[in-house]
Amino acid sequence: MCDFTCSGAKTPINRIESSRKEPYEALSDEALLASLADGDSAAQDALIRRYTRLIRACARPYFLNGGDSEDLLQEGLLGLLSAIRSYDPAKSSFRTFAVLCIRRSIISAVRAAQNHNNAILNDSLSIDQVLSEDGTSLPLTAQDPEALIIHRDERRRLERELSRSLSDFEQHVLTLYLKGLSYREMASALGRPPKSIDNAVQRIRRKYEAVCQEE
């Protein structure tokens, strides 16, 4: 996973972190905000430098499906910028408000990604679609409720049979795969190389096919 310290093209925070820090370090948050309101755009860069470590700390506990750590950090930055734009000194200190906005932005991004992945799972990622090479499955509609119930029960039984044949590692891979994670994301989450993930997926597919053929 890429971080703000990764090589290559710099993110906005990278560029700001490497810019001149004087004479803003001695100013309070509120003084920097006042300076920014007077048209000093460098005061905003100083605030971003000051809160970069806090953004990292707020993002660390979370995982963004379909994204990486830098995406979460950028969401945190957007939260900070929102705090800078909408801060009301009559309600709280800027730091308290900034933490709230940063966390809210990160959590909103995580929830949005989860909702998107859940919609994908509900609509198309049944276990046979994921594990079959061509992604096909038996088309069923709500017009045939009895067939839907039978199909659902059969699917659950096949999943139980498959689960008994999988190693712990393969179980973890299957769980992440069904959530829509990429090989790279699964490799990072499980501490294994992407090739190991690919091999596990191929084994799971073979075992699933074997379970289906036994029926």
Condensed to tens digits (0 to 9), the pLDDT of residues 76-114 reads: 999 999 999 999 989 889 999 999 999 888 888 877 776
| One domain, residues 34 and 109 | yes
Same domain? 144 vs 91: no
Amino acid symbol at 45: D
Q: How confident is the model at residue 43 (pLDDT cuts 50, 70, 90)?
A: very high
Q: Is the separation of the CB atoms in 55 and 77 below 8 Å? A: yes
pLDDT at 64: 63
Residues 110 and 192 in one domain: no
Assigned domain for 185 exists: yes
Task: Tell me the CA end-to-end span of the chain in Å, nearest whole number.
Answer: 42
Nearest one of 60, 68, 62, 74 to 181, comparing CA atoms: 68
108/138 same-domain check: no
DSSP state of 27: S
Half-sphere exposure of 127 (CA within 13 A, CB side): 24
- Residue 7 counted as domain residue: no
| Mean confidence (pLDDT) of the chain | 73
User: What does the pLDDT read at residue 142?
Assistant: 40
Residue 92 DSSP label: S
Would you state the pLDDT for residue 2?
A: 39
Same domain, 17 and 96: yes
* Domain endpoint, select from 119, 137, 161: 119
Cβ atoms of 101 and 93 within 8 Å: the answer is no
Asked if the structure places residue 144 within a domain, the reply is yes
Regarding whether 58 and 135 lie in a shared domain, the answer is no
**Per the structure, how many domains does the chain have?**
2
Shared domain for 145 and 100, answered yes or no, is: no
Indicate if the pLDDT at residue 157 is higher than 80: no
Q: Tell whether the model's pLDDT for residue 213 goes beyond 60.
A: yes
Q: State the Cα–Cα distance between residues 112 and 19, nearest whole angstrom.
A: 33
Provide CB contacts within 8 A for 42, sequence distance 6+. Answer: 24
pLDDT bracket for residue 22 (50, 70, 90): low
Does any domain span residue 54?
yes
Same-domain status, 131 and 113? no
CATH of the domain at 206: 1.10.10
Q: How big is the chain, counted in residues?
A: 215
What number of other Cβ atoms are within 10 A of residue 153's Cβ?
10
Residues 33 and 102 in one domain: yes
- pLDDT score at 210: 78
pLDDT of residue 114: 66
Alpha helices in the chain (DSSP H): 12-17, 29-37, 42-59, 69-86, 94-123, 127-131, 145-165, 168-178, 183-190, 194-214
> Does a structural domain hold residue 1?
no
Mean pLDDT of 153-179: 78
Which amino acid type is present at position 164? R
Range of the domain at 90: 12-119
CATH of the domain at 80: 1.20.120.1810
37 domain-assigned = yes
The answer to whether residue 6 is domain-embedded is no
The tokens for 101 are 């906005």
For residues 140 and 151, is the Cβ–Cβ distance under 8 A? yes
Same domain, 142 and 110: no
Same domain, 181 and 205: yes
Asked whether residue 3 is assigned to any structural domain, the reply reads: no
pLDDT exceeds cutoff 70 at 18: no
Eight-class DSSP state of 132: S
pLDDT of residue 85: 92
Domain closes at, from 84, 119, 154 = 119
The secondary structure of 144-180 as a DSSP string is -HHHHHHHHHHHHHHHHHHHHHS-HHHHHHHHHHHTT
* Domain final position from 119, 141, 158: 119
Examine the domain organization and report whether 98 and 70 are in the same domain.
Answer: yes
